[in-house]
Amino acid sequence: MGLLENKDDIKELVDTLNFKEKIDRSLTLIKEAYKKYGDSLVVANSLGKDSVCIWDLAKKVNSNIRGFIITTRFKPKETIQFMKKAVAQYPELKVFRNDEKIPDRLYETDPDKCCDILKVEPIRRAIEEMNVKCWVTGLRCTEGRTRTDFKEVEERDKGLIKLNPILIWKEREVWQYLALNGVKVNPLYAQGYRSLGCAPCTRITAEEDERAGRWIGTSKCGGECGIHTRPLKINLDGGGI
Ligand code: SF4
């Protein structure tokens, strides 16, 4: 039985595996999935530290692996600059965004709807257009209150596998990997951010929770944009399944 079928206790692995064992496990998960899904395995890259970590790991497995970036009109200029450099270096990274008109300050009045339109819609399109059967994410179970119950391999949408190869990594281990492998990171981290998103919804905080600076002052505080929780496969009628 391969690692893709593992039923291991994720919370136990967070504290029992050492740094090297975690890297090896992540690489094995990506290798097995790439062997199974080939070019229909695609990496989601949000341009945060976990994404550049997973992108680097995937490229170590096979340099042909493709990726997609979901961007919005509200991303900070530093993130846009970082994105442009990443795409110039890796043309196999495709950018998706939704430019449809939305009400002013929707991120304040209805952030769930705003994320649905600006983030979830383009990711559905990315999955459709890039013919994705397995998408790889940099999700980690120690990031915050909303991320404790994910698995390394999931099928939330029928026919779409989600692989979370660094699910058991701690924040420190991500930085350790990036430093040891010389991976460039979004310059916003140097300003004190720990979790990056759209400018109106992301702040620097001194809270323990890594995602505490996201959507402060709304019902979504420290929560999710919906990419990891909403259906992503498009039916012929345009709805999720
Ligand atoms: S993070 Fe904020 S600005 Fe960005 S899509 Fe979500 S609600 Fe809108």
CB distance 222 to ligand 1 below 6 Å: no
CA of 76 to the centre of ligand 1 (A): 12
Q: Is the CB of 231 under 6 A from ligand 1?
A: no
Q: Across residues 69-91, what is the average pLDDT?
A: 97
Q: Residue 28 above 70 pLDDT?
A: yes
pLDDT of residue 84: 98
Largest interatomic CA distance in the chain: 52
State the pLDDT at residue 210: 84
**Closest by CA position to 226, among listed 87, 70, 86, 95:** 70
When the pLDDT of each residue in the chain is averaged and rounded to a whole number, the result is 91
Q: Active-site residue 225, yes or no? A: yes
Q: CA 47 to CA 31: how far, in whole Å?
A: 22
**What gap in Å lies between CA 241 and CA 231, rounded to an integer?**
6
111 lines ligand 1 (CB under 6 A): yes
For range 216-221, the mean pLDDT? 72
Question: Which 3 state secondary structure label does DSSP give 81?
Answer: helix
Q: What is the pTM of this model?
A: 0.92
